[in-house]
Amino acid sequence: MSPTDRRTFLARTTAAAAVLGFPFAVRAGGGETPDAASAERPPVDYAALFAEARERMQREHKPGVVIVIPADPDDAAALELAITFLLAPTIVGPIVVDGKFVRDAGPAPATARLFTRAVFVALPRDMIAESFSRADAAAFSLIVDSEGNVVESVPAPAMPADAAERALPTAAFSLDLVTDVNARLDGPNGQRLATDAKAQRAALADGGREIDRLLELLATGSERARELATNGLAAQAAAAAAILLEKRNTAAPELAERIDAAFVAACGKLKPDAIAPHLPYGVAWRNFKVFEGCGETTAKLGDRVLQLAAQLSECGLSRPGPAARRFLRFLNSPDFSLPKLR
């Protein structure tokens, strides 16, 4: 992405983010980010993060996806916002609309499948170059095995030609890219998926018979039975994602949608910490108090009040009170400390 394209994209994304409820100040536009650099920020132990991710890949018999953190801070900020919006598209904080709380509706089915079936970890590009000899220097992300070997490099996506699409928060990590990575994880003729499903069945005490029983209920049971089956499969999705995906790939459309509902349910409740099962290692939530006042929107971080976006409404109109809003940041972002690893 050229500097001119980046500035245009970020300027447009700022407006979109304000509408969606994500506090996102743009460096390229001259604004200060809510995370001003801290000289006391401890270094991130990326080797430990990757070791944690590999241990989980081995335990759950899953591939890994390494998200390459761009060296340019503006590109990194755009990617942070894109991942946030993919995983939590409707998070706007505890705001009341028409007497009801606005809740997180969960990610799109393709996103839920991707972030459940693989272990994600975000690493800086300079570490990628040092640690993965087979990695494409310009790769957007890497697919790796449980031993840390690069299986495939995923090229950087082209930014949309349409200006409106470039303004979307998902532009840096689009649903088209999610679909592409899902297909790459399946492998040629589904061979990688079949290998993962076989390993997951072998790891389950009953060989996956309970998963098969729940899938049968999901296909033929009553509405109540299907609801219970969805909840049961969601609870076991981490250990049986490949088994569910293998069934989904050959299922009738109606059953495929029901399996997708189990994946969405598995990802639907995002925890405000850095180790929720489907969040990438190397990211954490940041929380801000956002205030919508006369002519501006500001966020409060500690004792600092930072302007995020101009208000389009006139003074004197009713506005919601302060709301806690959150979005994902890479651990190498300013003011981050390393969370306790599992």
What are the start-end ranges of the H helices in 61-174?
Answer: 73-87, 109-117, 125-131, 163-166
Residue 152's SS3 state is: strand
pLDDT tens, residue by residue, 175-195: 889 999 999 999 999 999 999
Q: Residue 276: which of 203, 339, 196 has the closest Cα? A: 339
Quickly count: other Cβ atoms within 10 Å of residue 190's Cβ. Answer: 15
pLDDT at position 50: 93
pLDDT tens, residue by residue, 213-222: 999 999 987 9
Q: Are 69 and 123 in contact (CB under 8 A)?
A: yes
Per-residue pLDDT of the chain (342 residues; tens, 9 = 90+): 444 454 444 444 444 444 344 433 333 333 334 444 444 556 888 999 999 999 999 999 999 999 999 988 888 888 988 898 888 765 444 433 344 444 445 788 999 999 999 999 999 998 898 888 888 888 999 999 988 899 999 998 877 777 777 777 778 888 889 999 999 999 999 999 999 999 999 999 999 999 999 999 999 879 999 999 999 999 999 899 999 999 999 999 999 999 999 999 888 766 655 557 788 999 888 765 555 565 555 555 445 555 544 444 445 544 445 555 567 888 877 644 434 433
Cut 0.85: pTM above it: no
pLDDT at position 43: 80
pLDDT at position 334: 60
Q: CA–CA separation, 212 vs 316, rounded Å?
A: 59
Residue 277's SS3 state is: coil
Q: Residue 304: which of 34, 37, 39 has the closest Cα? A: 34
pLDDT at position 285: 80
